[in-house]
Amino acid sequence: MSNDKYEALEKLAKLRDDNVISYDEYEKERKQLLKQPYGNNSGHVQNNSYISSKSALVAAILCFFFGLLGIHRFYVGKVGTGLIWFFTCGLFFIGAIVDFIMILTGSFTDSQGKFLKRWNM
């Protein structure tokens, strides 16, 4: 097995272990990876449909400093709730704290429902 496939399978298993994807989704993706010919990088897990191109680190920094204004929500494409955060001071400060915790734990998503890219990946 090529190194690219091995690395992709390891990352896929990590996504499963971190509960980002279900076991059924893991099996489906794993079978597709194993069917691909050696040397094919198209199945690399970093480009899958579960991870956003937006960074969790940037979102966390924006939320920490500008959470009351909802800037982190604008960053991930959630314009509607960003406006709500802006006009209600981060949903009366509680929403900003909840968002910050969700970003740090990896459960915050972008406007398309994709999880933010972790800074340790």
Amino acid 46: pLDDT: 47
Please indicate, yes or no, whether the overall pTM of this predicted structure exceeds 0.85: no
Amino acid 23: pLDDT: 81
Instruction: Evaluate whether 45 touches 15 at the Cβ level (below 8 Å).
Output: yes
pLDDT tens string, the chain, 121 residues long: the values are 456 677 777 888 888 888 878 888 888 888 777 776 654 444 444 455 778 889 999 999 999 999 999 999 999 999 999 999 999 999 899 999 999 999 998 889 999 888 888 776 4
Residues 6+ apart with CB under 8 A from 42: 36
DSSP 1: -
Amino acid 40: pLDDT: 43
- Shared domain for 37 and 67, answered yes or no, is no
- Shared domain for 60 and 110, answered yes or no, is yes
- Shared domain for 72 and 105, answered yes or no, is yes
From 32, 49, 66, the end of a domain falls on 49
- Domain containing 79 equals 52-117
Helix 94-105 × helix 56-66 angle, to 10°: 160
| Domain count for the chain | 2
> CA 32, CA 108: separation in Å to the nearest integer?
27
The strand ranges marked E within the chain are 51-55, 115-117
- Shared domain for 57 and 35, answered yes or no, is no
- Shared domain for 39 and 65, answered yes or no, is no
